[in-house]
Amino acid sequence: MKNTPLVIEPEQLEQKLDHDDLLVVDLCKPETFAKGHIPGAVHLDYAQIVRLDRPRMGLLPDATSLSNIFSSIGLAPKTQVIAYDDEGGGRAARFLWTLDTVGHKTASLLDGGLFSWANEGHSLEITAHHPAQSKYAVNITDAPLASRDYILSHLNDPGVVLWDSRSALEYSGKKKFAERGGHIPGAINIDWLEVMDKSRNMRLKAEMDLRTLLEGKGITRDKTVITYCQTHHRSALTYFVLKVLGYPNIKGYPGSWSDWGNSPDTPIEV
């Protein structure tokens, strides 16, 4: 399916639902999916696309695990994926970022997710859809990934900027969900909620508004931008925002603060 934008509106998706090469992936809570979902959508539990190594959370699963997960939902290399969730885009964007790590080229976000679809009168179904299993071979690429070591080696690099997508209280260290609180030295704090427009059913804010927000904070296109939060859930959405805005060099930090803040020798600021 050609020329599908990175962010798709409910009306556009509705016109494509009968296309054979389309896979709509629902990352809502299971109970929400059971009550009603986009016709033909396949449910994917968020827990399947993240790996835990406590206290580190939100790590990237290995290639074999991802291959099994993608194959189980019938994904093929040329499938057009449309992902959505019921929380403003974090889970869906984490799935889309994961697809970036394996080089899947055709994947989009339903703007507003279930909020825009359901609240604007589009039909829902309750029947679970189970596609035929595929064989999706996974090779993980480093381009969308930022590891702890990568960040440590670029802390004083003027060409790299860190976007901390957590709340201001987490950024300051007043609220912590790891052994240590604070933020990565030099990181710029813009809460992920700032990219959402609650008045438009949780869609992303207009591109011009997003550009103004980021550039005003020094997150500019000429730099490599690394996004992180507590686990790379919220920051998956901010990574996706950068992709939509055409930033050429972007990375997400799987594990995020649960990795950095639980490491005894990483530098922090409060």
Task: Please list the active-site residues.
Answer: 229
Lookup result for tokens 């690394």: 226
**Residues in a beta bridge with 25:** 42, 83
Reading the block at residue 267, the tokens are 């530098």
In the chain the beta strands, taken as DSSP E runs, fall at 7-8, 22-26, 42-43, 51-53, 56-59, 80-84, 107-110, 160-164, 188-189, 196-197, 203-204, 224-228, 250-252
Distance CA 91, CA 6 (A): 16
Residue 269, helix vs strand vs coil = strand
Distance CA 9, CA 117 (A): 9
